[in-house]
Chains A and B, each alone.
Chain A
Amino acid sequence: MLDKRLVVVSGKGGVGKSAVTAGLALLAQRNGLRVLAVETGAPGGLSAHFGTGPLGFKEREIAPGLHALHVVRSEALLEYLSLQLRLPGMGRFGAVARAFDALATAAPAVREIITIGKILWEVREDRWDLVLADAPPTGQIGSYLRAPASITELVPTGRIREQAEWMRAILADEATTGTLIVTIPEELPTTETKETLAWLQSKALVPEPLVVANRVLPEIESDATIPGPVGEMAELHRSVWSQQRFWLSELPPAIELPYMFGLFTPSEVAAQMADHLERLA
């Protein structure tokens, strides 16, 4: 994944998508890459894992070579209007900016193109070895990845369409773009992951995604049963483990990341995540 220029990380809410993104970003930075990590969801989701305060729309260097930003939609909109659509002098309260903001709520694909457009713009500008997007959850990822294609269907000509066309090309390019779907081996996340994979495959908008299974328990080989808490822990562990193996068997072969027992802070989790990813690489 680290030889791509863009890695889009998605997954059902609550499976550790931001932690995986942060771990990958730290690993890429350790390897000397110039990295941009992009937070798209609620503020703090990704930045907590870096142990930094809130991120702004302008990227900030949070470790040598590692930059991060948060896509603030109103600012991304202004940037999109001025840089991409080349409508200059868009004040914050300009009539077109206001109209566009309303459009973004009511029209398909416009809101998404502003967010994904910012990410793809950073890839196209060639300032980074790797752009890592902590993308929207799998429930919404389809409308983001499809946005450039939807726009080209909706808008026959003009600048919006021209911008959508290069975005579509970057997303679909196998050498440039990678997609990770993070999941945990439980019923609902597995079901949602399978649905997302099937949808992505049918639309061919991005190269084939890799699946990352998070919070996977190690196997206990001993089948001894003993009374008291030690035995209870073994019993719970075996029982959760066998459930997990079942749900993993329902998925395509996945990269497995371990359950992190007893870790308190998001930045501890991200650092360990980077260590595990390094061992896998």
Chain B
Amino acid sequence: MTRTVLIAGAGGVGKTTVAAAAAVSAARAGLRTLVVTVDPARRLASALGLGNLGDEPQPHEDEPLLWAAMLDASASWRAVAERHAQPEVAARLVDNEFFAAASEHFPASQSYAAADQAATFVQARAWDLVVVDTPPSAGGIDFFAAPAQMADLVGGRLLRWITGGSLPGRRFFYDRAARPVLRLADSVLGSDLLSRVAEFLVDLRTTYDGVTQRGREIERVIGGASILVVTTAEPAPVAEAVRFFRELPGIATRPAAVVFNRSLPISWVDPKIPSGAPAELVANAERWGAETVRQADVRAGFAARYGARVATLPWSPLAPTDLEGLARLIDDAEGLPSDLFER
């Protein structure tokens, strides 16, 4: 049985570091562990043994039970086309001028690709634990809606909108009914934009059955995963963390914990000022003391309002960039549901 842990939350809060640290810690506790990361900082990637690009899991040279893989989210649409469309349609899709724009405009496609690849690793049953870092731009709650949104998109919602018909997807209807209307609209706008987009969507529609079926498998994997929401005490990431408790879709489980990264030690509230401490350091202690109070207040408010398990990771000025540093981060954490990363 492969356990899955999803590391979610707003961008810029240290998700990738937390995912890497959890994986190192689990590997050291005797679990065969794979960490799947998206776009790690260079030094973190090399700490994980990810020297060269490639989405195949690579065993770590110095950590016997640790594997790492890096997702290439930009390849997502290409993968969908190649897996689920007829070869000649796939070739036409990949070459289409709208293809790149659609993947850029549709962040769900990146999440879908990330979830798809992660699900493949989980289904391989080669690891005791798969730790999945979510994409920076879509690591929030929207990650969980991605398979459904993707199916909706290729399923022809846009195509219906563009053709106005209730039975789209068949070239016959498109040619006879919709195309003349689009031509008319295009002539007003001064281009053949709408017609070209519709052609593209008709091709995309052929991937629907494959995408829906795979989407259900992906949702099953997500549904079986434990979720750790990472945040800092800043208002924007906290607001994203809140969504995991107020709007979480039915397919996902309630987060196992909310991890407040960059937490200051509670002993900094109202510290004893040693006699003879320089005035500058006393003033500094007042500032950081106030910040510690604010952070503690945010955490306590979160725990009380949402009944969430709250964990803390200390503020380390230098993000850990080697195995020792990563393992230490988990050792220094408080309140983590450590059973997730132990045998």
Interface residues of A (CB under 8 A from B): 12-15, 18, 44-45, 48, 85, 87, 95-96, 98-111, 139, 143, 154-161, 187-189, 220-222, 224, 226-234, 236-237, 239-240, 243, 261-264, 266, 269
Contact = CB atoms under 8 A, between A and B. Distances in A.
B164 A261 contact: no
B102 A106 contact: yes
B185 A96 contact: yes
A179 to B, nearest CB: 21
B26 interface: no
A222 to B, nearest CB: 4
5 contacts: A14-B10, A95-B164, A98-B161, A109-B101, A226-B277
A229 B265 contact: yes
B277 A220 contact: no
B102 A105 contact: yes
Given A95-B181, A188-B12, A262-B293, A14 B237 contact: yes
B246 interface: no
A160 B190 contact: yes
A227 B274 contact: yes
Given A14-B234, A229-B267, A99 B290 contact: no
Classify the secondary structure of B's interface with A. helix
A232 B293 CA distance: 16
Contact of A155 (B193, B281, B317): B193
Given A14-B237, A230-B273, A233-B268, A261 B191 contact: no
B201 interface: yes
B282 A189 contact: no
Nearest to B196: A107
B315 interface: yes
B337 to A, nearest CB: 25
Contacts of B289: 233, 262
A214 B187 CA distance: 49
Contacts of A188: 12, 41
B215 interface: no
A156 B193 CA distance: 11
B190 A158 contact: yes
B64 interface: no
Interface residues of B, number: 66
Given A108-B98, A159-B190, A262-B290, 18 more contacts: A13-B236, A44-B239, A99-B162, A99-B185, A103-B193, A103-B197, A104-B105, A105-B158, A106-B102, A111-B105, A156-B191, A160-B191, A224-B277, A228-B271, A230-B273, A236-B264, A240-B317, A266-B235
A12 B317 contact: no
A234 B284 contact: yes
Which 10 A-B residue pairs are closest in the complex by CB-CB distance?
A158-B190, A262-B290, A14-B12, A229-B271, A108-B101, A102-B162, A102-B158, A239-B317, A261-B287, A233-B288
Interface of B: 10-13, 41, 97-98, 100-102, 104-106, 136-137, 153, 158-159, 161-162, 164, 181-182, 185, 188-191, 193-194, 196-197, 200-201, 234-237, 239, 264-265, 267-268, 271-274, 277-278, 280-282, 284-285, 287-291, 293-294, 297, 315, 317-319
Contacts of A229: 265, 267-268, 271-272, 285
B43 to A, nearest CB: 9
B101 A13 contact: no
A236 B278 contact: no
A230 B280 contact: no
A95 B201 CA distance: 17
Give the residue among B239, B267, B287, B317 with the most A Cβ atoms within 10 A.
B317
B280 A220 contact: yes
A220 B281 contact: yes
A15 B318 CA distance: 18
Contacts of B10: 13-14
A155 B191 contact: yes
Contacts of A156: 190-191
A228 B272 contact: yes
Given A45-B236, A106-B102, A187 B319 contact: yes
Contacts of B194: 99-100, 103
Contacts of B182: 99
Nearest to B164: A95
A111 B316 CA distance: 40
Contact of B190 (A157, A189, A264, A269): A157
A225 B255 CA distance: 41
Given A156-B190, A230-B282, A261-B287, A189 B12 contact: yes
Given A87-B188, A107-B98, A99 B294 contact: no
